[in-house]
Amino acid sequence: MKSRLWSRSHDDYARPGEFVSNLRSIRGMNDIFPEEVRYWQRLESTVSDLLANYGYGEVRFPIVEHTELFRRSIGEVTDIVEKEMYSFDDRNGDNLTLRPEGTAGCVRAAIQKGILNTPQRLWYAGPMFRHERPQKGRQRQFHQVGVEAFGVATPDMDAELIVLTARLWHQLGIADAVELQINSIGNAQTRKRHCTALVEYLERHVDELDEDSRRRLQSNPLRILDSKNPVTQALLDNAPALPDFLDDESAADFSKLCELLGRAGVSFVLNPRLVRGLDYYNKTVFEWVTNKLGAQGTVCAGGRYDGLVEQLGGKSTPGVGFAMGMERLVLLVAELGLSATTFARADVYVVSVGDRAQGLALETVEGLRDILPGYRIVQHVGGGSFKSQMKKADKSGAKVALIWGDDEVDSATVTIKPLRRDVDTGQIGQQNLPLAELEAALVDALTE
């Protein structure tokens, strides 16, 4: 059954300069009443529980920041900065902006707090603001859940973020209505070489470009790949493709990401035109899209931004993250007729040494999340020696560690190591057992 919750026309709301006898909400900034809120509550609680189970902690930061933060991070020649931000001078003469997205504020907060000397898994939720034409699934005040991971440069971190979103779709019942599109945009040199070739090609067809694309041709040509104009899209069919310009490191990381997603059972489509609309991205970019909501088809999007922390004044720190649009997810849940019926320490920390072990661990642990949904399982990412991984396992607060190395891969086994000493004997015992016995042994270890 299709939802009728959002049937009110935008003509019902006041427009600029229009006199009204009764005060009404600002156009594009809507009220949410109980019959809609129940959908929001279901989504919010599901997201919160899932992220806690993966070891992510919630952070909260202001909705107002210095305008310069967004100019430096998002990019001067993006649509957001050029046309969409709500900026104003306050009484002290400071130029401030209602946040149009969350990553820049999260990075600013993490730098200011001084927590980026170690890897961090963070998430946040709240309103964002962009002055756009209001329509279904696109409001001027909209809400996002953002997830950011700092301090890990390897593609297993990218894989974890994508895998957890895939799990969320299954928990919400919308997995069959969304499609994952991924791409790699490489490093700055990759994009520079591609832009040169792209501009040379498009300049030969400038008369066929739409007005926005002609404007972007010299200022930000990669944004042309986002054009929704069908003539421009047809023209791009024969344009130089960004993946053909990838540097070796980006190509290797992207190949590894695709392998890990395959091991985790996450299907995807390669989209060589996917570049995202923010300047801080590099390497992996991805979007989850649906065909159930008309033109506003992207429900979740993100990617890697390894240079952003340093760009905003911190020490060089890799980062990757995503944001999901709450309004669009709520619309999708309602559109599909689905019913609208809660950071803690880890229970389990997963250690894997070597590429073979990493792949088997990811595959096995995702299966455990299916059959043991109540436990918080944190998988180590970023590689490192066995000793360094075990130190992080101990600091995580987990009760047990699951360990995979070459020996475990060869014998199709896993090692379970308790991380808390027995109060009576003072001993810590561990056991190596077949994968088929893992579920029962893990439940026993966690319930002792």
Every domain of the chain and the residues it spans: 10-58+104-187+247-335, 348-447
Flag whether the pTM goes above 0.85: no
Bridge partner list, 145: 125, 324
Within 192-257, strands assigned E span: none
Tokens describing residue 177: 């209505």
Residue 391's pLDDT is: 93
- Tell me the fold of 348-447: Rossmann fold (3.40.50)
Convert the pLDDT of each residue in 189-244 to its tens digit. Answer: 888 898 889 888 888 888 888 887 888 787 778 778 877 788 888 888 888 888 88
- Tell me if 123 sits within 8 A of 145, measured CB to CB: yes
Residue where the block lists tokens 């997810």: 329
Task: Print burial letters for 115-141: b (CB count within 10 Å at least 16), e (below 16).
Answer: ebeebbbbbbbbebbbebebeebbbbb
| Phi, psi dihedrals of residue 319, rounded to the nearest 5° | -150, 155
CA distance 158 to 278: 18
Bridge partner list, 329: none
For 10-58+104-187+247-335, CATH gives 3.30.930.10
Low-confidence ranges of the chain (pLDDT < 50): 1-13, 342-344, 423-427
Q: Is 9 helix (H, G, I), strand (E, B) or coil?
A: coil
Within 240-317, strands assigned E span: 269-270, 282-289, 298-304
Residue 4's pLDDT is: 40
> Dihedral through CA 50, CA 52, CA 56, CA 57, nearest 10?
130
Considering all CA atoms of the chain, what is the largest pairwise distance in Å, rounded to the nearest integer? 81
- Tell me if 310 sits within 8 A of 363, measured CB to CB: no
- Tell me if 446 sits within 8 A of 419, measured CB to CB: no
